[in-house]
Chains A and B, each alone.
Chain A
Amino acid sequence: MTSESGGLDQFRLAFREEARELLVELESNLLEMNERPEDGELVGNVFRALHTIKGSGAMFGFEDLATFTHNLENAFDEVRKGRLAVTPELVDLTLSALDQIRAMAEADDGETAADPAACTEILARLRALMGKGEDAAGSIRHTAPAAKPVQGAANELGAAIEPRVQPGSGPEQAWKIRFAPGPDLMRNGADPLLLVRELRGIGRLTVEASTAGIPSLRELEPERCYVSWEMVLAIPAGGDRGQDAARAAGEDAIRDVFIFVEDSCELTIEPARVEPLADAALANTGAKEPVSTAVCTADVTARALEEKRRSPGRRATDQPDSASSLRVPAARLDQLVDLVGELVTVQARLSEFAAQSQENEVLAVAEEIERLTSALRENSMTLRMLPIRATFERFRRLVHDLARDLGKNVELTIEGAETELDKTVIDQLGDPLMHLIRNSMDHGVELPESRVAGGKRRMAKIHLSARHSGASVLIAVSDDGAGIDTEAVRARAIERGLAGADDPLTETEIFSFIFQPGFSTAKEVTDISGRGVGMDVVRQRVESLRGAIEVTSQRGAGTTVTLRLPLTLAIIDGLLVKIGDAFFVLPLASTLECIELTREEVEQANGKHVAYVRGEIVPYIRLRQYFNVGTPPPEREQIMVVECEDGRCGLVVDQVLGNCQTVIRNLGRFYRHVQVVSGATILGNGAVALILDPQRLVQEAIRAKIQRGGSRSCGTTRENGHPRGGTHQNATEHSVGAGVRAGASR
């Protein structure tokens, strides 16, 4: 019993997870529907998502949720049939209903976290929209349709299901249905008999089971279904609707019966000739008999459908691939990645010992383990990579609601939603993005009248984008609003003592003030922003992710805030280098090549920190100077050429030791202001190596150069070899000694 209830809890949790995903998808589809009310595909998506939430909610004991959702499903069935129009009111109402469904799904056992009054009002308004105002007073628990419910699978599971196509007299359309369950259909818990029974709820059914496929008893796999069914279903032709619309509705109604198993069966649905009601076959169907309660059901079916409904789509063939995905708690993946991290560290030690031993057999085993560990690491990291789509999509609702509250017209566009990054990063992105969007909506985007007066489109635009850049992901929130008023920010910064009145401030420095705690130029605090908290949260969260923020803004044209985030927070491929006695790791993804730098070349450069690489000038930073390493340099140093946002740049080290899988460890709070180091790692010999952030190193060099009165460029080069502004001379000659002492020595 305990295990059963434990199992049920597990399924309830699985339902909650699925409901969350479906609700995000629903919101997104609804908001798109506002823009494309005639789009039948969107309507179909909404209907199916509601159908799934209702069905699985009922299975796992969320009866209020199922009944409430059933009403919405009915409304969208009406939309699907062309009897109800998509209006902003319907969309808003459905969005409000989704909030209640979300609350119901998140409620603990036996509790209803939804607001009953709000639910009643939503249902009343919904029924009014559907022209059923007389029932407007129905409450959550009293919303079962007046029609006699079909005694099918779904009502055993808690929700009264109204026949979507009412059987009756009058013209009929007929459908020939062939249904052959796939090998795993029953193992997954679905019951073909329940599906056949559900078909009876939508019309007159002639059914014939074929036992021809049943093998000998010895060969028969007990949990596999070998029986197939040929059926003819006669359903009402659809009254005054067009023939095509009626046919489409009829086929949809049939497909909905198989919605959870379509991927694990062969299903063909074809129009057929209507047989007279008196046909002998129909007389034998027992269609009018009450359905008994004898069919073995339930928990098995519940388990079943839970598993199968994961795969969307409407393929009518058995597709093993769709059944081969499974849902794993994120904590288990985290544990796996942690263990792989430990394994990588131990493997590094093994490789070190093997190298010292000089035993061929030991070396061969160590190399094999290194190869396998590397493959395991890549695989386990891939498991945690998720597309950012779901995070992006949920902001459609935020933009919609804020636009309504603020009286602004704003559309949200999304780009690069398929970009993948580590789940741990994605999980922490929600808050910063929300604050950035709220800020754009409140301060950036102007009121429609102001926009029109300024010659802009009435409809403002907020653009969310994601793309990979080396070992980082760039996530940007752009708006075409008023842009940042640099003078106001500057004045406020001076007023708060963050800058002196005569300080020569660059635009970047001015923009950086908006991320200071409590910093706001807003004249009044609104519900949405103005307290100076949101952008501080963005900064803190991005820093905790070892990311960076870049702001560009043009007065009158808009603002873009770009978050540069690491692809993963766990393990990376690195290049181990040595400077003096200290070890450092450079991320392999941002390293392009390695070239030698001789003492002679250094002398010939007359103090300029530039090298010529195949005719191209590449400036470099001498890390031994940067980190104040006192030991004498070797005769031949190495330039690691790295690709940064600002172009190519070299980082000069003493020696390149080779590839290493790098488990990233945090340096802790004391080092949080050390921007050029993104963490540390433990080497095979037990030594600690600092992981360098080439992008930050280069930016730091540029910043120092600018502070000393130079141009913005530190002489980094683009691929075409042209420097970005300014001169190359003495580009990185400064010994930026700020900060970090070299890593631990051997």
Chain B
Amino acid sequence: MPVRFDRSETPGVIRLEGAVDIGCAAELKAALLEALTSKGEARISVETATGIDVTAVQLLWAAEREARVSGMVLALEGPVPEALRATLLEAGFERFPCAEDPEPVDEGGE
């Protein structure tokens, strides 16, 4: 299951695993909507994700924008795998969404 919302932790963590693509986009949207209803803070972990497509990127982008407007924190937990970073870099995205201090994708990582 590429999208898993771990509510047992505080704050709750949406864990993205394996290939995060159009096949799980609806699921990711539901998880993000739920995360945005939580008070204060939610985290997203992409540590074990092996790939990402544009549907996932735009969902994360929209969620981050809404979290910022509503004053909550939606941030990445753990490092972004180099493969994901490279994918976004190649595709012309200026940074990885939900990176806490807006971190340019080309400068982050190892």
User: Which of A191, A214, A224, A286 lies in contact with B90, CB distance below 8 A?
Assistant: A286
Tell me the minimal C-beta distance from B34 to chain A in angstroms: 11
In the complex, which residues of chain B have a beta carbon less than 8 angstroms from the beta carbon of A328?
Answer: none
B42 beta carbon closer than 8 Å to chain A: no
In the complex, which residues of chain A have a beta carbon less than 8 angstroms from the beta carbon of B93?
Answer: 209, 211
Known: A211-B58, A217-B66, A286-B106. A193 touches B87 (CB 8 A): yes
Tell me the minimal C-beta distance from A216 to chain B in angstroms: 6
In the complex the two chains form, is A292's CB within 8 Å of B32's CB? no
In the complex, which residues of chain A have a beta carbon less than 8 angstroms from the beta carbon of B50?
Answer: 294
Tell me the minimal C-beta distance from A257 to chain B in angstroms: 14
In the complex the two chains form, is B51's CB within 8 Å of A295's CB? yes
A contact patch SS? loop
**8 A Cβ contacts from B36-93 to A:** 36, 50-55, 57-59, 61-63, 65-66, 81-84, 86-87, 89-93
Chain B residue with the shortest CB-CB distance to A209: B92
In the complex, which residues of chain B have a beta carbon less than 8 angstroms from the beta carbon of A225?
Answer: 54-55, 58
Chain B residue with the shortest CB-CB distance to A195: B91
A200 beta carbon closer than 8 Å to chain B: yes
Tell me the minimal C-beta distance from B35 to chain A in angstroms: 10
Instruction: Provide the A175-200 mask, 1 if CB < 8 A to any CB of B, else 0.
Output: 00000000000110001110011001
Tell me the minimal C-beta distance from B75 to chain A in angstroms: 16
A738 beta carbon closer than 8 Å to chain B: no
Instruction: Provide the B89-107 mask, 1 if CB < 8 A to any CB of A, else 0.
Output: 1111110000000000010
A296 beta carbon closer than 8 Å to chain B: yes
Chain B residue with the shortest CB-CB distance to A197: B90
A2 beta carbon closer than 8 Å to chain B: no
Tell me the minimal C-beta distance from A493 to chain B in angstroms: 71
Task: Give the CA-CA distance A297 to B26 in the complex, in Å.
Answer: 18
In the complex the two chains form, is A214's CB within 8 Å of B62's CB? yes
Task: Give the CA-CA distance A251 to B83 in the complex, in Å.
Answer: 30
Task: Give the CA-CA distance A297 to B36 in the complex, in Å.
Answer: 29
Instruction: Provide the A279-302 mask, 1 if CB < 8 A to any CB of B, else 0.
Output: 000001110010111111100100
Known: A294-B51, A300-B21. A222 touches B86 (CB 8 A): no
User: Which of B52, B63, B84 lies in contact with A217, CB distance below 8 A?
Assistant: B63
In the complex the two chains form, is B23's CB within 8 Å of A207's CB? no
**8 A Cβ contacts from A295-324 to B:** 295-297, 300
User: Which of A217, A222, A292 lies in contact with B82, CB distance below 8 A?
Assistant: A292
A227 beta carbon closer than 8 Å to chain B: yes
In the complex the two chains form, is A222's CB within 8 Å of B59's CB? yes
A402 beta carbon closer than 8 Å to chain B: no
A208 beta carbon closer than 8 Å to chain B: yes
Known: A186-B22, A209-B91, A284-B106. A220 touches B83 (CB 8 A): no
Chain B residue with the shortest CB-CB distance to A215: B62
In the complex the two chains form, is A291's CB within 8 Å of B90's CB? yes
Chain B residue with the shortest CB-CB distance to A284: B106
Task: Give the CA-CA distance A286 to B61 in the complex, in Å.
Answer: 22
Task: Give the CA-CA distance A218 to B19 in the complex, in Å.
Answer: 23
Tell me the minimal C-beta distance from B99 to chain A in angstroms: 14
Tell me the minimal C-beta distance from A202 to chain B in angstroms: 14
In the complex the two chains form, is A296's CB within 8 Å of B29's CB? no
In the complex, which residues of chain B have a beta carbon less than 8 angstroms from the beta carbon of A214?
Answer: 58, 61-62, 65
Please classify how large the interface on chain B is, using the bins under 10, 10 to 19, 20 to 34, 35 or more.
35 or more
A115 beta carbon closer than 8 Å to chain B: no
In the complex, which residues of chain A have a beta carbon less than 8 angstroms from the beta carbon of B23?
Answer: 300
In the complex, which residues of chain B have a beta carbon less than 8 angstroms from the beta carbon of A191?
Answer: 53-54
Task: Give the CA-CA distance A362 to B83 in the complex, in Å.
Answer: 70
User: Which of A193, A217, A220 lies in contact with B36, CB distance below 8 A?
Assistant: A217
Chain B residue with the shortest CB-CB distance to A286: B89
In the complex the two chains form, is A223's CB within 8 Å of B86's CB? no
User: Which of A207, A208, A222 lies in contact with B28, CB distance below 8 A?
Assistant: A222
Task: Give the CA-CA distance A226 to B25 in the complex, in Å.
Answer: 13
In the complex, which residues of chain B have a beta carbon less than 8 angstroms from the beta carbon of A227?
Answer: 54, 57-58
In the complex the two chains form, is B92's CB within 8 Å of A231's CB? yes
In the complex the two chains form, is B25's CB within 8 Å of A222's CB? yes
A229 beta carbon closer than 8 Å to chain B: yes
Q: Which of B36, B55, B59, B92 has the most CB of A within 10 A?
A: B92
In the complex, which residues of chain A have a beta carbon less than 8 angstroms from the beta carbon of B65?
Answer: 214
In the complex the two chains form, is A296's CB within 8 Å of B25's CB? no
B14 beta carbon closer than 8 Å to chain A: no
Task: Give the CA-CA distance A227 to B54 in the complex, in Å.
Answer: 8
In the complex the two chains form, is B54's CB within 8 Å of A294's CB? no
In the complex the two chains form, is A226's CB within 8 Å of B58's CB? yes
Tell me the minimal C-beta distance from A467 to chain B in angstroms: 49
Known: A292-B82, A294-B83. A207 touches B90 (CB 8 A): yes
In the complex the two chains form, is B32's CB within 8 Å of A217's CB? yes
In the complex the two chains form, is A220's CB within 8 Å of B86's CB? no
Chain A residue with the shortest CB-CB distance to B24: A222
In the complex, which residues of chain A have a beta carbon less than 8 angstroms from the beta carbon of B91?
Answer: 192-193, 196-197, 207, 209, 229
In the complex the two chains form, is B29's CB within 8 Å of A207's CB? no
Chain B residue with the shortest CB-CB distance to A287: B90
In the complex the two chains form, is A196's CB within 8 Å of B92's CB? yes
In the complex the two chains form, is A217's CB within 8 Å of B22's CB? no
In the complex the two chains form, is B54's CB within 8 Å of A192's CB? yes
In the complex, which residues of chain B have a beta carbon less than 8 angstroms from the beta carbon of A200?
Answer: 90
Task: Give the CA-CA distance A220 to B25 in the complex, in Å.
Answer: 11
Chain A residue with the shortest CB-CB distance to B58: A214
Task: Give the CA-CA distance A573 to B57 in the complex, in Å.
Answer: 58
Chain A residue with the shortest CB-CB distance to B97: A211
In the complex, which residues of chain A have a beta carbon less than 8 angstroms from the beta carbon of B62?
Answer: 214-217, 220
In the complex, which residues of chain A have a beta carbon less than 8 angstroms from the beta carbon of B13?
Answer: none
Q: Which of B19, B54, B94 has the most CB of A within 10 A?
A: B54
In the complex, which residues of chain B have a beta carbon less than 8 angstroms from the beta carbon of A215?
Answer: 62
Known: A193-B90, A209-B91, A293-B83. A186 touches B54 (CB 8 A): yes
Tell me the minimal C-beta distance from B107 to chain A in angstroms: 10
12 chain-A/chain-B pairs, Cβ below 8 angstroms: A186-B54, A187-B22, A193-B87, A196-B91, A211-B93, A214-B61, A217-B66, A222-B55, A291-B86, A293-B83, A294-B84, A296-B22
Question: Which positions in A face B, CB cutoff 8 Å?
Answer: 186-187, 191-193, 196-197, 200, 207-209, 211, 214-218, 220, 222-227, 229, 231, 284-286, 289, 291-297, 300
Additional A-B contact list (4), CB under 8 Å, known A197-B90, A300-B23: A191-B53, A208-B92, A214-B61, A222-B28
